[in-house]
A and B are shown apart, each in its own frame.
Chain A
Amino acid sequence: MSVRHAVLALLSEGPKYGLQLRHEFEERTGEVWPMNVGQIYTTLQRLERDGLVESDDSEVDGPQKAFRLTSEGAAELDQWLRTPPDLGSPPRDELVIKVLVAIHVPGVDVHEVIQAHRRRVVELMQEWTRVKRDADAEDTSLTLVVDAELFRLDSVVRWLDAADSRLRRFVPSEPTPRAATKPASAKREAVQR
């Protein structure tokens, strides 16, 4: 989450004070991302240094200082909104690694490992769903944030389901050192090509 760009977005509506920015940031993100005042002021100082925002009076710091967007700031915001986040390189997913490792650890049932994670993720989804259920129907920000979290967790459950059923059909044999290194790097090269 880019606090920097969120601040630029809020200032695109007109000049605002630091405390006001913090309040509005929390409100618009469904109060799921709490932010302290220090973070807001540090961000504003850096934005001012970079010429993306300007203040009424750069001599006096404090809550009575209003900030406004500069034309450079507006251009930066516009570019950021249209730039897709980096979804290209797969994250090093700890859960995937745990399951891959569990396949070959003696005395460990990989299906039990998968179920333990599945249960925990579904419990988290239940908690988020309760937040959505109790939310004001008009609180679109909160609903959208909760939806994003539910879709993310749902994809984790689906991956666990797929892994579970693949591993029931086909259990990989013990990797030999040679088999573990050579084909893997060959595959990576194939993907890069």
Chain B
Amino acid sequence: MSALELQSVSKVYGRGAAEVHALREVSLVVEPGELVAVMGPSGSGKSTLLTIAGTLESPSTGEVVIGGTPVANLSRNQQAAMRRRSIGYVFQDFNLLAGLTAAENVALPLELDGISTKQARRRALEALERLGLTERAEHFPDDLSGGERQRVAIARAVVGERHLLLADEPSGALDSVNGEAVMRLVRSTCSGGVAGVVVTHDAQLASWADRVVFLRDGRVVDQTAPPEGPESLLEAPAR
């Protein structure tokens, strides 16, 4: 069963002369364990694709199926529960709550889902440990570096039993080495069975994905071919 399926999804904002077609008949299937990058220029529909995949918005036409369940068949409450339990989001500007410590930020989605504070905290600390942030668990976002904040945001996105990780320019304004560290984490999270979708205009970030989908004017115009042998580059003749 695919983790995420977009079936001929279109999204139109406004009406009449002010009508904007953000997405046109986009179809995309992401399997568990697969990381897909969506590349395109500003205004190509990347972020709309991500918000629709994450059930934060509904498509104008077409269907979104998450873990085999058509989202349109769910009530608002069921959709909200799905967002809390199964979907992790990472945003460019991290979106951490300034009044909560790193551990509290990570535990929040679990607590909102009715898990006891103690349990949620234990799981949050585990997630932070995996990302090398044990020492920073009791710090507030303002006391963390940009790279650490983004790692907390990733911990929050993967805590619990998430099946789908959605990231919008996840390395934000980080330098290239910290940006790479973020992509390594996203990559290893996906290798553990989570399906990932990263939207970006940065080819270096996109190149961490198994597949890169190119979006232009709301349409999927192209995608990369599956990989050849892993060692093909190193066997190339000397230049």
Contacts and interface: CB of A to CB of B under 8 A. Distances in A.
Interface residues of B, number: 28
B152 interface: no
B238 interface: yes
Interface stretch (A47-55, A92-100, A149-157, A174-182): A149-157
Contact of B201 (A32, A33, A161): A161
A126 B207 contact: yes
Contacts of B206: 122, 125
Contacts of A118: 214
Interface stretch (A60-68, A73-81, A83-91, A129-137): A129-137
Given A34-B238, A161-B41, A131 B233 contact: yes
Interface in A118-151: 118-119, 121-131, 133-134, 150-151
A35 interface: yes
B238 A150 contact: no
Given A154-B203, A165-B41, A130 B230 contact: yes
B80 interface: no
A125 B234 contact: no
A150 B201 contact: no
Interface residues of A, number: 31
Main secondary structure of the interface of B (DSSP, over half): loop
A33 B228 contact: no
Interface string B211-239: 01010000001111101101011100111
B212 A32 contact: no
Nearest to B206: A122
A56 interface: no
Interface of A: 1, 31-35, 115, 118-119, 121-131, 133-134, 150-151, 153-154, 157-158, 161, 164-165
